[in-house]
Amino acid sequence: MSVIETNLSHQTIGEIVREDIRAAKILKRNGIDFCCGGKKTLEKACEEKNINIDSIQEELIDLMSRNNPFPEINPDNWEIDFLCDYIQNIHHTYVKQNIPVITELAEKVARVHGAHAPELVKIKELFSEVVSELMPHLHKEELVLFPYVKRLKSVSEHKAEIETTHFRTIKNPIAVMEKEHELAGALIEEIYLISNSFALPEWACNSYKLLYNSLAEFREDLHRHIHLENNILFPKAILLEEKITSN
């Protein structure tokens, strides 16, 4: 959408956010999932949430018609190998660094306050499931998927030869990655709901406050992380592979 569309209803959520990341704030405020739900059209997403599409579309068009103060920070314009490195260096590193901290906090707060706030025990258990989903997921991306994407980039520039892989086409591991994104995303959203949108009781101690603040930040990072992969990296990788194999 180099020219702003006057009707976004049939654009997918992923396409809208890919064009202008600022749109994510409007979508999130209305409870519309722009990462795992990025393949839905705006019309479908609004229908599911019982949202007036005209008002949200008007707000999106108004936003996207205004100059972006940081137009160069658009991941959709980045080289695909750079995008892989960015995801790994920024988002994978963030997850690895913060999982031990949040795990320790969740266990401590559940132990101290779980008797009169049982949702904290459930949050601890759910976050443990998030860890079980994400850690092997990151490992597979770093060892298999990202190197293959970079190999495709080299092949496209005639710097390497295409290699036969056990997964035949990149669509297969991508389908697995997307499924794992859905599982991790659903767990984080369950934590968000159980915590009443990370609303703190008046009596919350500092550890309690830090836990909820850390979970809120983790959720935000995961949304951006999944968006970069589902809506930008994966479609580009599929197209690149198709272009190479069709020649």
Tell me the pLDDT tens digit for each residue of 139-164: 999 999 999 999 999 999 988 787 77
Q: Which of 131, 69, 129, 76 is nearest to 99 (CA)?
A: 131
Q: How confident is the model at residue 48 (pLDDT cuts 50, 70, 90)?
A: very high
What's the CA gap between 153 and 170, in Å, rounded? 13
* Residue bearing tokens 């589902």: 230
d(CA 231, CA 234): 7
Alpha carbon of residue 168 to chain centroid: 26
Q: In this predicted structure, what is the pLDDT of residue 164?
A: 79
pLDDT-derived band at 6 (thresholds 50, 70, 90) equals low
Single-letter residue type at 172: N
For CATH 1.10.3910, list the domain ranges present in the chain: 1-76
Across residues 192-216, what is the average pLDDT?
96
pTM of the model: 0.86
Mean pLDDT computed over 170-186: 97
The token duo for 78 is: 């980045």
Mean pLDDT of the chain: 92
Mean pLDDT confidence for 234-242: 96
Class of the 1-76 domain?
mainly alpha
Average pLDDT over residues 45-52: 92
- Residue 43 has, within 13 A of its CA and on its CB side, a CA count of 5
Across residues 81-99, what is the average pLDDT?
A: 97
Rounded to an integer, the average pLDDT of 126-143 is 98
H helices of the chain, in order, are 13-19, 23-29, 42-49, 53-65, 80-86, 93-113, 119-140, 146-156, 171-194, 206-227, 234-246
The type of residue at 116 is: H
Task: Say what the pLDDT of residue 38 is.
Answer: 86
